[in-house]
Amino acid sequence: MEKSRHKVLAIFRRYRVGPGQMLFLHNLEGDSRSALARLITDGMVTDAGPKNAYCLTPLGFAALQEM
């Protein structure tokens, strides 16, 4: 997994977010913003609805556990 995607998933780990739990990511810039978009495309993270709110999918949580 590329470094920028790892960095975004590490934010979910820092806040102990599990599958389906919402996390607001409002300070992402540049590579991290692009990495988040790729994580969404790959089905590891979903847009939770409210602005800047995202959830880990079970696939994303499994990847987080392997880090």
- Domain of residue 12 covers 3-66
DSSP string covering the chain = --HHHHHHHHHHHHTT--BT-EEE--S--HHHHHHHHHHHHTTSEEE-SSTTEEEE-HHHHHHHHH-
Please tell me the pTM assigned to this model. 0.87
Q: What is the CATH number of the domain that holds 42?
A: 1.10.10
Considering its fold, how many domains does the chain have in total? 1
pLDDT digits (tens, 9 = 90+) for 48-64: 988 899 999 999 999 98
Look at residue 27 in the predicted model and tell me its pLDDT.
84
